Amino acid sequence: MGKKLLLLALLSCLTLGSLQAQNSFEEEEQIVIRNDGEATFFEYRVNGVLKEIKVIPAVGPTYYLVPKGEGGDLIRVGESTVLIPKWVIFTW
């Protein structure tokens, strides 16, 4: 009886941990799309922190604005620097 109860307790802990990991993964990344008529902006945030802004102007090439340090300044770069994982192979 004691071994069955211990096994049941361990299994319930494992399932609760995996559910919590799934919920935390879903809340990590956020993309906000805005359009002001002259350009479309894609804001990429991870855990609420701005990682980059993709700017697609009506005329001209697409470019990215990336935060420089903690001062709130943005620098312009030609290619994306954000690598957002699309697949989860294994979680604890």
Whole-number Å distance between alpha carbons of 68 and 42: 18
- pLDDT-derived band at 92 (thresholds 50, 70, 90) equals confident
- pLDDT-derived band at 25 (thresholds 50, 70, 90) equals low
* Mean pLDDT, residues 36-60 taken together: 90
* Average pLDDT taken over every residue of the chain: 77
Q: Where are the domains of the chain?
A: 27-80
Contact (Cβ atoms closer than 8 angstroms) between residue 63 and residue 55: yes
Is the per-residue pLDDT at 51 higher than 80? yes
Token pair in block for residue 86: 């699309």
> What is 22-87 written as a DSSP string?
HHHHHTTEEEEEEE-SSEEEEEEEETTEEEEEEEEESSS--EEEEEETTTTEEEEESS--------
Is the per-residue pLDDT at 44 higher than 60? yes
In one-letter notation, the amino acid at residue 3 is K
Q: State the CATH architecture for 27-80.
A: Single Sheet (2.20)
- pLDDT-derived band at 35 (thresholds 50, 70, 90) equals very high
